[in-house]
């Protein structure tokens, strides 16, 4: 299996459990820098590896479009993907959700500098607004959809990640930018202390933890159970992720996103 060029792997001794998988490649959507994602997710993957008895490798990409191409080629055994990605790749590549964040809905936000004169979305008319990528669900699709519905003419500019959005707005390179509360809260306070959330969207089913079609059913079930009991057994692992825990998920949970009938072109082969 082809692995991302930005990959940090680690191996653990296999347990006595017999499985058809010799290792698991876990892809994480690059909302933030690879180093930050690794610091957040490697302890989680270490825990999962011990629970299911299979070595696990962390993988991401430098940009969300590159992550989309990897998903389109079934490059990950399990992936943390945004809600729109899940609706597409569950249909086209048969990824299936096993878990999602507990007691959480994903909402898009628009941030501006605290010392900015902007107080409403309408005031951004005629400006360039920073977004992570065209298919970033809450950070781009929901907020851009609001601008369009309200007839507010902006120029979307894509800067690769959520962190880049916040940095660019804090530096005054863009008057505003799109993100989500989870990544905003996980950003360096030196940056977010300069920003304020000016707008927030309606909430939708959050990111999916989804497995590939060829994941053995017994391994899929063990992974799901490991996610579900994480908050009871290792709650400290959840703090960097800014989630309360994980619950079991099923494909129909993302029907609220499907009902939006979004048609944003994704990067594929």
pTM here?
A: 0.86
**Strand arrangement of the beta sheet that strand 195-200 belongs to:** 155-158, 128-131, 176-180, 108-113, 195-200
- For residues 208-218, give the mean pLDDT: 96
Residue with tokens 């005031």: 123
CA gap 224, 27 in Å, rounded: 16
153-183 tens-digit pLDDT: 999 999 989 999 999 999 999 999 999 999 9
CA gap 26, 7 in Å, rounded: 10
In a domain, 265, yes or no: no
52-94 tens-digit pLDDT: 999 999 999 999 999 999 999 999 999 999 999 999 999 999 9
52 Cβ neighbours under 8 A, 6+ residues apart: 15, 17, 19, 24, 219, 222, 223, 226
107-129 tens-digit pLDDT: 999 999 999 999 999 999 999 99
Predicted pLDDT of residue 268:
74
Statement: residue 7 has pLDDT above 70: no
Tokens representing residue 162 in the block: 């959520």
Domain encompassing residue 172 = 108-200
From the list 95, 22, 18, 15, the residue with the least C-alpha distance to 56 is 22
In a domain, 133, yes or no: yes
185 and 219 together in one domain: no
Number of H helices, E strands in the chain: 10, 12
Q: Which CATH number covers residue 187?
A: 3.40.190.10
Residue with tokens 């999962």: 48
Question: How many separate domains does the chain show?
Answer: 2
Which residue, of 200, 216, 238, is where some domain finishes? 200
Predicted pLDDT of residue 269:
60
160 Cβ neighbours under 8 A, 6+ residues apart: 30, 62, 63, 64, 132, 133
């Amino acid at each position: 299996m082809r692995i991302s060029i930005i990959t940090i792997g680690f191996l653990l001794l296999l347990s006595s459990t017999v499985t058809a998988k010799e290792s698991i490649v876990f892809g994480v959507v690059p909302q933030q820098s690879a180093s930050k994602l690794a610091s957040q997710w490697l302890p989680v993957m270490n825990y999962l590896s011990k629970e299911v008895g299979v070595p696990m490798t962390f993988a991401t990409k430098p940009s969300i479009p590159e992550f989309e191409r990897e998903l389109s080629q079934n490059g990950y055994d399990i992936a943390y993907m945004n809600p729109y990605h899940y609706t597409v790749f569950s249909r086209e590549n048969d990824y299936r959700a096993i878990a999602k964040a507990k007691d959480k809905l994903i909402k898009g936000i628009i941030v501006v500098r605290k010392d900015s004169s902007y107080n409403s979305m309408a005031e951004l008319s005629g400006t360039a607004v920073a977004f992570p990528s065209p298919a970033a669900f809450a950070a781009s699709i929901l907020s851009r959809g609001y601008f369009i519905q309200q007839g507010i003419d902006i120029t979307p500019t894509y800067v690769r990640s959520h962190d880049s959005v916040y940095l660019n707005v804090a530096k005054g390179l863009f008057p505003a930018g799109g993100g989500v509360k989870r990544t905003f809260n996980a950003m360096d306070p030196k940056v977010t202390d300069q920003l304020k959330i000016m707008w927030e969207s309606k909430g939708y089913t959050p990111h999916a933890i989804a497995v590939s079609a060829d994941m053995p059913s017994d391994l899929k079930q063990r992974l799901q159970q490991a996610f579900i009991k994480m908050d009871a057994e290792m709650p400290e692992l959840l703090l960097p992720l800014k989630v309360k825990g994980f619950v079991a998920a099923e494909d129909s949970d993302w029907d609220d996103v499907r009902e939006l009938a979004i048609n944003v072109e994704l990067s594929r082969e």
